[in-house]
Amino acid sequence: MTRSELVDLLAEHSAQLTRRDAEAVVGIVLGAMGDALARGNRVEIRGFGSFAINRRPARVGHNPRTGQPIEIAELRVPHFKPGKELREAVAQQPAHPEKNG
C-alpha cells in the first residue's frame, strides 16, 4: 500500500474527511513519527508494532575493488518490530500471496 492508497482509503472510510483532509492527516501522523525517530525516540502503535532506531557501530570494511581497509562510520538506522496482532494476522495469510505489480 502506498501513501496515496492510504489517503484514498482514509477518505473513503470517513464521511467527514475529504481527500485533502486525509492527505493532511496522513502527513501529520507520518511527520510526527519521523520527527520522533529523528530525535532518537521510539514510536509504538499498540496492536501494530513499534519503530525504533538501532545503532550500527563503526567498523572496518574493505574496498571491493582494491581490498584496502576503509573506516565505516557508525550508523543509526530505523527498525520496525511488528506487534503480536500484526504478526498473527500476517501468519494467517497464504504462503504465496499475489503480488500487486
Give the per-residue pLDDT at 65.
95
Q: pLDDT tens across 57-67, in order?
A: 999 999 999 99
Query: pLDDT per residue over 14-43, tens digit each?
Result: 889 999 999 999 999 999 999 999 999 999
The three cell numbers locating residue 99: 503480488
Q: Is-contact 37 51, C-beta < 8 A?
A: yes
Residue 100 is assigned to a structural domain of this protein:
no
Using pLDDT thresholds of 50, 70 and 90, give the confidence band for residue 94: confident
Q: How many domains does the chain have?
A: 2
**pTM listed for this prediction:** 0.75
Residues 83 and 50 in one domain: yes
Query: In which order are the strands placed within the sheet that holds 49-56?
Result: 43-45, 49-56, 75-82
Claim to verify: residue 33 and residue 54 sit in the same structural domain: no
CA distance 17 to 74: 43
Q: Is residue 23 a part of any domain in this protein? A: yes
Domain containing 48 equals 44-95
pLDDT at 100 over 70: no
With cell 582494491, the residue in question is: 66
Same domain, 35 and 53: no
Triad 17, 46, 16: Cα angle to 5°: 10
Q: Are residues 13 and 30 in the same domain?
A: yes
69 CB-side CA count, 13 A: 3
Which alpha helices (DSSP H) does the chain contain, by range?
A: 3-13, 19-38, 84-91
Are residues 51 and 90 both part of a single domain?
yes
Assess whether 62 and 78 both reside in one domain: yes
82 in the same domain as 50: yes
